[in-house]
Amino acid sequence: MMKELNLRGNALLLKGARVLDPGAGLDGVMDLRIVEGRIAEIGPALNAGAGAVLDLSGALVTPGLVDLRSRFGEPGQEERETIATGLRAAAAGGFAEVCVLPETTPPIDDAAGLEFWRTRAASHAARLLPVACVTRGGSGEILADLAELVDAGAVAFSDGYRGLPGAHALRGSLLYARQFKRPIFQLSADESLLGGEVHEGRASLFSGLKGIPSIAEDIAVYRDIRCAEYENAPLHLQLLSTRESVDLLREARERGVPVSGDVGVHHLCFTEEDFLASDYGPGLRLQPPLRTEQDRRALIAALKDGVLSAIVSDHRPADFDRMDREFSYRPFGASSLETCIGAAVKALVETGELSLGRLVELFSDGPRAVLGRPAVRIAVGQVACLSLLRNESWTYRRTAGQSRGVNSPWEGQELPMRGLGVLNGDLACLDESLAELIRV
């Protein structure tokens, strides 16, 4: 279990961890002293001094990790996830900051909604980064008051899983958002080619379920990139899943188009073959669907060469009532905040595809660059925004987790890394085995 702590007025010594911050050139076993929410000292074998000492031998400390795409349920769908359970799940997964989509009831499309979120999240160490609706009610029609939303703290704009349905809506949104230096988060899909449940290919052929073709994404990605190029406005394409989409993004970035992209952790770990072998298991009814091994390889290559800027959890929890039904009647999505880092390490680092340092960049510097925010560094004088992780095998069980979601494809699977918690200034959310060592 995770425990929230307010460390104001307390010193804390993190002892014996591997500190990994590629941007600062740090990679080694050392100690960190935190005083008044800031990093006061870094070095080997620091004296204990005043305050609590956390023995982190065998653990990993990184700059605070960021998830660019999660969905909670509050307000209106608290049975899926509340702000509290979602942010504790984020901390349990090692995420210090989480971009939360505005798909709630009602949608977050005004300053009052953002203030509600801010108030509910204020006491939590994992920081909620609010993504507000581009259009009123997320309808894809009339633009929301983006100026008001920026003033209220929105870090980006998105109509969530629906996306902006056409070029006209996207152009207007890009033109409006450009003046505020906030990206549009877009899930690119041609609505006329949707309506299926799995990848159009072997998955649809052998399951008998209606397929979603790759071109549903590819056509929309081309359209959306051209809109961003025409308006010279920042656009971030989320959950890319096909090799053709990656090629389009690569070509656009080479032309200097202000467009970036990310990939969901599921599409790095699974393919349509895993779906076929799963016996319709939980968490594999995804939007976009799991594609081919060739697509997965193209996504990994794009992470290696920097075409894709980030890996996201795409946390989309569902409660038992929604999942206790036939596959075709279940909601799309998977509960994945608590398993995202471990799953990425298993799929990418243990297989030799990426170094651990590169993976940290894809969860820290990359996402912050997408948001236009400065990188977080582990350096003396900096606010302590840190993720704590441990290299050890563990088995995910939803009954022992923080999220309310029951739709995890990693249920019962062994993963090689787990989160121990996060520090954000004076606030901490730590695994209770660590939290019990601190008296505040």
Residue 156: per-residue pLDDT: 98
Residue 240: per-residue pLDDT: 99
C-alpha closest to that of 112 among 145, 88, 82: 145
Is the distance from CB of 387 to CB of 57 less than 8 angstroms? no
Fold of 2-61+380-435: Urease, subunit C; domain 1 (2.30.40)
Distance CA 338, CA 93 (A): 4
Task: Judge whether residue 439 has pLDDT over 80.
Answer: no
Q: Return the CA Rg of the chain.
A: 21
State the Cα angle at 82 between 285 and 4, rounded to 5°.
120
Residue 253: per-residue pLDDT: 99
Q: Per residue in 292-347, pLDDT tens?
A: 999 999 999 999 999 999 999 999 999 988 898 999 999 999 999 999 999 999 99
Amino acid at 92: A
Q: Among the residues of 281-336, which ranges form H helices?
A: 293-304, 320-323
**Which positions are annotated as active-site residues?**
314
Residue 50: per-residue pLDDT: 79
Beta strands in 152-227 (DSSP E): 156-157, 184-186, 198-199, 211-212
Q: Residue 375 carries which DSSP code?
A: P
Amino acid at 301: A
Q: Per residue in 64-109, pLDDT tens?
A: 999 999 999 999 999 999 999 999 999 999 999 999 999 999 999 9
Task: Judge whether residue 271 has pLDDT over 80.
Answer: yes
List the CATH code of the domain at 64-371.
3.20.20.140
pLDDT band at 440 (very low <50, low <70, confident <90, very high): low
87: alpha, beta or left, given left = phi > 0 and alpha = psi -120 to 50?
Answer: alpha
Q: Per residue in 357-407, pLDDT tens?
A: 999 999 999 999 999 999 999 999 999 999 999 999 999 999 999 999 999
Structure tokens belonging to residue 102: 């505005």
Distance CA 406, CA 319 (A): 6
- Out of 181-185, 219-223, 327-331, 370-374, least confident range: 327-331
Query: What average pLDDT does this structure show over 165-169?
Result: 91
Looking only at the bridges linking them, the beta strands covering 414-424 and 427-431 are antiparallel
C-alpha closest to that of 271 among 296, 247, 246: 296
Q: What is the pTM of this model?
A: 0.97
State the Cα angle at 311 between 309 and 312, rounded to 5°.
125
Looking only at the bridges linking them, the beta strands covering 235-237 and 26-35 are unpaired
Q: Where are the domains of the chain?
A: 2-61+380-435, 64-371
- Please indicate whether the domains covering 2-61+380-435 and 64-371 agree at the CATH topology level: no
